[in-house]
Amino acid sequence: MLSNHFQNGIETAKLVWSRLPNADDGDADEVGVSKKIDGSSVESLDYEVVENHAYREEQAQRGKLHVGYYVVVKWFFALLIGIGTGLAAIFINISVENFAGWKYSLTFSIIQKSYIAGFVVYMLINLVLVYSSTYIITQFAPAAAGSGIPEIKGYLNGVDTHGILLFRTLIGKIFGSIGSVGGGLALGKEGPLVHIGACIASLLGQVTCGCAAGVAAAFRAPVGGVLFALEEVTSWWRSQLMWRVFFTSAIVAVVVRTAMGWCKSGKCGHFGSGGFIIWDVSGLESELFFSSHIIASVCAFLSFLTNDLFSGQEDYSFEELLPMAVIGVIGGLLGALFNQLTIYITYWRRNYLHKKGNRVKIIEVCLISLVTSIISFGLPLFRSCSPCPESDPDSGIECPRPPGTYGNYVNMNFNFSLRRVGELAGVKLCGFWTLRWLETTGDLGGQDDHELPMKGDKRTEAPKVTWGLGAKLEKVSTRNTRRLMLTGDQGGKRFIGNCLIKQGCHVFKWRIMRSLPRVCLFKLDKVVKIGILRGIAFYCGKDKEYNDLATIFFNTQDDAIRNLFSAKTIHEYSAQSLLTFLVMFYTLAVVTFGTAVPAGQFVPGIMIGSTYGRLVGMFVVSFYKKLNIEEGTYALLGAASFLGGSMRMTVSLCVIMVEITNNLTLLPLIMLVLLISKAVGDAFNEGLYEEQARLRGIPLLESRPKNEMRKMKAKEAFGNQKVVYFPRVVKVADVVSILKSNNHNGFPVIDSKSGETLVIGLMLRSHLLVLLQSKVDFQHSPLPSDSRGGSLPIRHNFSEFVKPASSKGLSIHDIHLGPDDLEMYIDLAPFVNRSPYIVPEDMSLTKVYNLFRQLGLRHIFVVPRASRVIGMITRKDLLIEDNEDPATVELQSTSV
Ligand code: ATP
Ligand code: MG
């Protein structure tokens, strides 16, 4: 019986410890996960508030001001996290875009003379970037490898992975990502950005905010970020946290928007032409972005619920639902296969390849970089060029929005009203037009067909008015709520453009129209010159030709995705090219996953998904000839389905996809494919992050207990293990030997008074180490310090007991005590957590699990059935007047 052990005091305890595994063995077996676990690096986190004497004293001393101060500090930190993550994202994007832009323009200029020299330069630049990345990871910050999401997920589930949130990991992740993404590997920077956000946030004690900020920065999807944190990474969620996370994401959105606005006019080098994933943006002014975004979202949502729910369906017909469901199934299958293959490869790598040391890791990554360069440069050589899609002959633009172009420099004259352009085009203009300029470049992008005429207008009647790319937009002003005026610079010439807002919440100012269609018309005179080319003229003799495979292979990923999503014309890509890309890129993504570089799976997932989505789209086009089908839409659905099939997220992915494409009409379809792909994927294996967490030995507690637990009782969970505990006053030498003899982190403390034994609380190892190191609480007498009628001494601040967010902290082996110290005693009473969680021994394990998981606990005492009841608490006893101390709540969420 437990109480018997207590009575025997410390001598018994020593006997018990000798039966426990040796400290050096690690505790892999103890945590009951698997032998693969590196036990020394897996410890839980203490989220629970330690209600010890120091804490209670501090609480008693706190005034209202103190509480307010805590709240303000929390929000201020949330602000800093938003700014920090936003800036980190911008830095990474600017660097990647500049490296990539510089690499492509150099290669492009060299291949005009020699393909071989071009290839060598391209390959070497990639190699140097990738080498720098893997060097940083292997030599400086090993914890920065991979996406980091499984580890953060584990952290927020209560498992501390060594080094995951250190400052050096943050630095390694930032610079490592620049190298690996800039070096053209089949991986993305979005997962690492989540980790970067979490690292920044952990410096300020709010990891969840950082995760959301990372997603918000990576995709410019603030709401998606909040939902990602809620759905994917956190295990405990409170409404206060939701507000702060929401606030942080909003700050990120503003920071990113502002910085991009600043970069618009070419101040950031190549940056501005691609970068942040977003395939449809509006020209909102940055400072007004946030407030207007919220109103616009609400507005758009309402209109979506009312008219657009029905009118939006004009964009797809009932017959298309079947092929879309097929995309969902393919996504589920390919996603599950991706997870399975990465499990095998990661397992093999860890057990064979990576055991051979860092050099092998570096060689491996360099080889993969080499193969990636050869494939991305070499494969397009086998494709012949095709002529650019035809456009309005009047516009004079041969390639209005060809895949891969970076901008056609055109001479524009925008002084036309809607009616005037309609007259010129010889068509009666009505319905809706979408103004779509790529804000990153200041380019005026191509018209967005799938948001074109929605009411009263048949699509076939739409005039083919095209506007040029490459113009620097300088100012957008509004004459009234229905008319915009654009002014800007086009190759040294001024232009003015008129846009009419025709639909949506036009009672508001145009600024809130972010996701709503608006009208914008231009007339283009003639093409002056074709601008920077990416892929379009690659390997092609003439300007008017393009190589479809090169536009996706020999390109930055963001631009490749933009091309794959383009809905301008049909059949921009041949089935053969898409299939080649799919097979090669899928293989590269699987092989690259798990190497010693920071690597995210979002963008590779989108690339893979949009490729087979477009393939399905092509078949649908030839099958349903009469329907107005756009391959770009299928590409988008394909991307959603692959991510759903691999990562198994639904709500957050759905919102992220809507936010990055800015297209609410497709929402029901995205939901459909996500649900199907998740269901199909779940039939085979777990989500990518769960699988990877398990493989890395992170013992995640899932949200639901296992069925078998219903039949088990609490006492069956720990078997015959004897409890290791401390008496209230304990000799320093005993503390040291006890701590050395086991790896436990929590110990019951018992007080024996006049033959009666009382469990007075829980003592944490980390707190004992603080006491041993500081020595101030050592006493000569083996009697309790308050035994002569005095009160408990407080020589420590509560802050001394708060463990650093994620670190190994002190170890017993770091503490050196002299022989005199060892003969002293410590009274543990002031330092124990007096309110540990306690369950009766025959409570079902399901209940224990739920209690443990939902409260984020680390230790629970199991006790015999209680002998007495001294009261009963019901709901009514908890409905106390509003004198709750918010600081308590705040504190509990300190590191979450
Ligand atoms: P965590 O590893 O989750 O951070 P911990 O380090 O305190 O918590 P471990 O020592 O790793 O806990 O737990 C391993 C096993 O040891 C568990 O099965 C648990 O029941 C048991 N255990 C933990 N603390 C004690 C203790 N004070 N006395 C006896 N057994 C313990
Ligand atoms: Mg442990």
**What are the residues whose beta carbons fall under 8 Å from the beta carbon of 63, sequence distance 6 or more?**
none
Least confident of 475-489, 568-582, 879-893: 475-489
Atom of ligand 1 nearest to the CA of 32: 18
Q: Is 717 in the pocket of ligand 1 (CB under 6 A)?
A: no
Cα–Cα nearest to 687, from 347, 325, 335: 335
Question: pLDDT-derived band of residue 651, with 50, 70 and 90 as boundaries?
Answer: very high
Task: Give whichever of 387-396, 539-548, 853-862 has the largest mean pLDDT.
Answer: 853-862
For residue 27, how far is its CA from the centre of ligand 2 (angstroms)? Answer: 6
Can you tell me the mean pLDDT for 483-504? 46
What is the third-level CATH fold of 67-276+316-379+597-695?
A: Clc chloride channel (1.10.3080)
Which pLDDT does position 560 carry in this prediction? 79
The pLDDT of residue 413 is above 60: no
Residue 27 Cβ contacting ligand 1 at under 6 Å: yes
Ligand 1 atom closest to Cα of residue 45: 4
Residue among 12, 30, 811 to mutate when testing ligand 1 (max atoms within 8 A of CB): 30
Mean pLDDT of 660-682: 89
Q: CB under 8 Å to 506, separation ≥6 — which residues?
A: 481, 482, 513
Centroid of ligand 1 to alpha carbon of 741 (angstroms): 13
Share of the chain above pLDDT 70, in %: 66
pLDDT tier at 570 (50, 70, 90 boundaries)?
low
Mean pLDDT of 267-281: 49
Q: Please say if the pLDDT value at position 106 is more than 60.
A: yes
pLDDT of 723 reads 92
Give me the residues near ligand 2 (ion), CB cutoff below 5 Å. 27, 43
Asked whether the predicted pLDDT for residue 205 surpasses 90, the reply is: no
| Helix (H) or strand (E) run with residue 525 in it | strand 523-530
Q: Ligand 1 pocket, 743 CB below 6 A?
A: yes
Position 9 scores a pLDDT of: 34
Q: Supply 870's token pair.
A: 């001294």
Q: How confident is the model over 323-335, as pLDDT tens digits?
A: 999 999 999 999 9
Q: Tell me which of 255 and 67 has the higher pLDDT.
A: 255
Split at pLDDT 50, 70, 90, the class of 507 is very low
Structure tokens at 442: 């200041």
Contacts of 81 (CB under 8 A, 6+ apart): 197, 200, 201, 204, 206, 209, 210, 213, 248, 251
What is the reported pLDDT for 595? Answer: 94
Encode pLDDT of 774-794 as tens digits: 888 888 888 876 665 555 655
What mean pLDDT, rounded, does the chain reach? 72
Q: 749 CA distance to ligand 1 centroid (A)?
A: 15
Evaluate if residue 773 carries a pLDDT over 60.
yes
For residues 129 and 180, what is the distance between their CA atoms, to the nearest angstrom? 7
| Tokens coding 583 | 């097979």
| Average pLDDT of the segment spanning 852-868 | 90
Query: What are the boundaries of each domain within the chain?
Result: 2-62+712-834, 67-276+316-379+597-695, 386-545
Which atom of ligand 1 is found nearest the CA of 858? 3
Report how far residue 181's alpha carbon sits from residue 148's, in angstroms, rounded to the nearest whole number: 15
Q: 73-82, 233-242, 333-342, 486-495 — which is least confidently predicted?
A: 486-495
Structure tokens at 652: 């957050």
Mind listing the pLDDT tens digit for each residue in 521-555?
222 222 222 222 233 345 565 555 667 787 788 87
pLDDT at 703 over 80: yes
pLDDT tens-digit map of 155-195: 988 888 888 999 999 999 999 999 999 999 999 999 999 99
> Whose Cα sits closest to atom 19 in ligand 1?
718
Give the whole-number percent of the chain exceeding pLDDT 90: 37
Q: Residue 133's pLDDT is what?
A: 97
Closest residue CA from atom 26 of ligand 1? 724
The residue whose C-alpha atom lies closest to atom 17 belonging to ligand 1 is: 30
Which residue out of 2, 5, 17, 31 has the highest number of ligand 1 atoms within 8 Å of its CB and is therefore the one to mutate? 31
Q: Which of 190-204, 447-461, 562-576, 620-634 has the lowest mean pLDDT?
A: 447-461
ipTM of the complex: 0.97
List CB contacts of 678: < 8 A, sequence separation 6 or more.
332, 644, 645, 648, 649, 650
Residues in a beta bridge with 526? 411
Look up tokens 């676990």; give the residue: 37
Q: Ligand 2 mean position to 22 CA, how many Å? A: 13
The mean pLDDT of 877-888, rounded to a whole number, is 64
C-alpha of residue 159 to centroid of ligand 2, in Å: 10
The most confident of the ranges 114-118, 136-140, 263-267, 617-621 is 136-140
Locate the ligand 1 atom nearest the alpha carbon of residue 31 and give its number.
14
Closest-CA residue to 142 (of 38, 234, 259, 241): 38
Element (H, E) at 44: strand 42-44
Q: Which residue matches tokens 């490296």?
A: 99
Cα 245 to Cα 156: distance, rounded to the nearest angstrom: 14
- Tell me, what's the pLDDT at 270? 58
pLDDT value of position 309: 30
3-state secondary structure of 844: strand
pLDDT tens-digit series, residues 114-160: 888 989 999 999 999 999 999 999 999 999 999 999 999 999 888 88
What torsion, rounded to 10 degrees, do the Cα atoms 559, 564, 567, 569 define? Answer: 100
Q: Which atom of ligand 1 is nearest to the CA of 744?
A: 10
Only one residue has tokens 């990153």, namely 440
Higher pLDDT, 225 or 498: 225
Asked if residue 678 lies in contact with residue 806, where contact means CB atoms within 8 angstroms, the answer is no
Q: Which atom of ligand 1 is found nearest the CA of 748?
A: 27
For residue 856, how far is its CA from the centre of ligand 2 (angstroms)? 15
Say if ligand 1 is within 6 A of residue 746 CB: yes
Q: Is the distance from the beta carbon of residue 721 to the nearest atom of ligand 1 less than 6 Å?
A: yes
Asked if residue 723 has its Cβ within 6 Å of ligand 1, the reply is: yes
Task: For 798-853, write each residue's pLDDT tens digit.
Answer: 566 655 444 456 788 888 888 999 999 998 888 899 899 999 999 999 999 999 99
Ligand 1: which of 744, 852, 863 to mutate, judged by most atoms within 8 Å of the beta carbon? 744
Residues making up the chain, counted from first to last: 896
| Protein residue closest via CA to atom 20 of ligand 1 | 718
Other C-beta atoms closer than 10 Å to the C-beta of 341 total 16
